[in-house]
Every structure is written in structure tokens, then in C-alpha cells.
Structure 1
């Protein structure tokens, strides 16, 4: 039987204009590997805690003293917990609280001429780490768009000269996925 590939749409919840990625990953990936896929496809730096919420169950890196308890993401395969049409959530950075909506758009046989994972599509740059969640990101976008904004120069320097909220390069994202996932 050919290897199954899951086509996932990953959308950053609540962000306007939308920030999203389409990724193709093997169904046999553990949720730990899917975490790395989301990190590299979105453009995060994996500096903070994360968790998955699938059908009301939490998955992540277990903390022996943690409340609430989470199931170990290393022990759970993607194809064991979701299928075509499934929706679930990935939360990154419990301070800024970035929620990602994931939709399994399709499940298909692997293309023997393709390497996985891959990120063929997406739109807009991921917010910078530690920007302050949705509110902080809205402030950043407003300041960057208006040279007369009182925070424009400070936030432009903080975000770095290379930060362009409209930019996304699927080829670069795919290269990172193949190197690190």
C-alpha cells in the first residue's frame, strides 16, 4: 500500500490579513514531527511551549508536574488521530498564545517522485516571536504601515529591516522542512 500523505491547511487564528500555509506530510509522522513542520512552515523559531488539541485531548511534551496532563506527542501518529475533513488546533507560545487552526484538506497516496514534507503554498509572513500576541501584532502592523506612527521607527528597528509582513516564500519553507523535519 502506498504511503499516505496528509494535505493540511495551517491558519493562524484571528490574524487579519490571514497568515496560512498548506503543507503535505506523511500520515505516519508523529505529532512531534508535525510540531516541527508547523514551526518551520510558519516561520516560528521553536522558542516556546506548544500543544495540540484534537477532539478535546491535549498532546504535547509531558511535564511530570504539569496540569492539565498532556499525552506524549512522540507516541501519537497523525494518521491515528485525524482523517480527511478533521479540524484540530495547535497552540504555540503560551504567553503570546498563537492558535493555529489545522484542517486536513485531503489524504492521498504519496507521489513517488516527490519528497515530503513540502509546503507548496501559503500567504504572508508569520508574526515575529514575542511581539505580544494578536494585539501586539496589530500594533506592529499599524506602526510599520504608517511612517508617521509614533512607534514606527522603534518597531521597525525591533522587527528588523528584513521583516515584511506580506512576504512568504514556499520554496524556502520547503527547504527548511526537508532539512529539519
Structure 2
């Protein structure tokens, strides 16, 4: 049977202008591998906890203390829990609480000449880690956009001179995905 590829649209909830990615992922990937795809496609550094919510069920890394009731993401394949048209959620960093909306836009047969996963498209840079969630990111964007803002210098220094909120390179994201996933 030919390998199925899921075309996913991943968008960061609560952020304007929108930050999103379109990725192609093998349906046989487990949710822990999908976690890595979201991390590298978006631009996160994978230094916080995460979970998926699919049809009201929570998946992630099991909590050794048993405080979080999560099903083990290592045991669940993408093609077992979603199909074309499915919507589900991924939350990263339970402090900043970055919610991602995922939509299965299409399911197709793998192209034998293509390497997966890959990032087809997207817009805007991922917010910096530990910026304070969507509200903190809005403060950062406002400060960076206005040289007269009282926090402009401090925020520019904190985010780094190279941080450009409008920048995104799908080819670079694909290279990372292929190396790390």
C-alpha cells in the first residue's frame, strides 16, 4: 500500500498578524514525531512541555508523577486519530501557553521523489521562547515597531538584532525537518 502523506496547516492561536506553516507529514508518524515537526517548522526550541488534544483526548509525554492525564504520544500514529478535514490542537509551553490549531487540509499518496516531512509554506517568524505568550508577544511587536517606545531598546536587545517578526524561510524549515525528524 502506498504511503499516505498528511498536509497540515499549523497556525499559532491568538497571534496577529498570523504565524502559520503548511507541512507534509507521513501518516505513519507517531504524535511524538509530529511534535518535533511542529517544533522545527514553527521555529520553537523544544525546551518546554507540550500536549496534543484530539477529539477531547490529551496526548503527550506521560507524567511520571501522574499529575497530567496524558495518553502516551509514542503509542499513537497520526493516521489513527485524524483524517482529511480533522481539526486538533497542540499546546507548547504550559507557562506561556502557546496554542496551535492544526487542520488536516489533505491526505495524498507520497511522491517517490519527495523527502518527508517538508514545509511547503508559511508566514512570519515564530515568537521568541519565553516572551510571555501571545500577550507578551504583542508587547514585543509593539516595542520593536516603534523606536520611540520606552521598551524598544531593551526588547530589541532581548530578542536579538537578527529577530525579524516578518521573516520565514520554508526551505530552511524543510532542511531542519529532514535533519531532525
The gaps in structure 1 that reach 5 residues or longer are none
Query: Equivalent residue for 1:162?
Result: 162
Note the 1:57-96 alignment, pairs <5 A.
57-96=57-96
On the 8 A contact 2:23/2:119 being kept in 1, the answer is: yes
Runs of at least 4 residues off by over 3 Å? none
Partner SS for 1:148: coil
Q: What's the CA shift for 1:173? A: 0.1
Q: What's the CA shift for 1:16? A: 0.3
Query: Equivalent residue for 1:112?
Result: 112
Please, what TM-score do these two structures have when normalized by structure 2? 0.99
Please, what TM-score do these two structures have when normalized by structure 1? 0.99
Q: What's the CA shift for 1:110? A: 0.3
Query: Equivalent residue for 2:45?
Result: 45
Note the 1:121-160 alignment, pairs <5 A.
121-160=121-160
Partner SS for 1:125: coil
On the 8 A contact 2:85/2:104 being kept in 1, the answer is: yes
For 1:107-141, what per-residue CA distance to the aligned partner results, in whole angstroms no more than 9, with x for missing partners? 00000110000001000000000000011000000
| 2-structure distance, mates of 1:81, 1:110 | 19
| 2-structure distance, mates of 1:19, 1:59 | 24
Q: What's the CA shift for 1:169? A: 0.2
Query: Equivalent residue for 2:17?
Result: 17
The gaps in structure 2 that reach 5 residues or longer are none
On the 8 A contact 2:61/2:73 being kept in 1, the answer is: yes
How many residue pairs get aligned? The number is 181
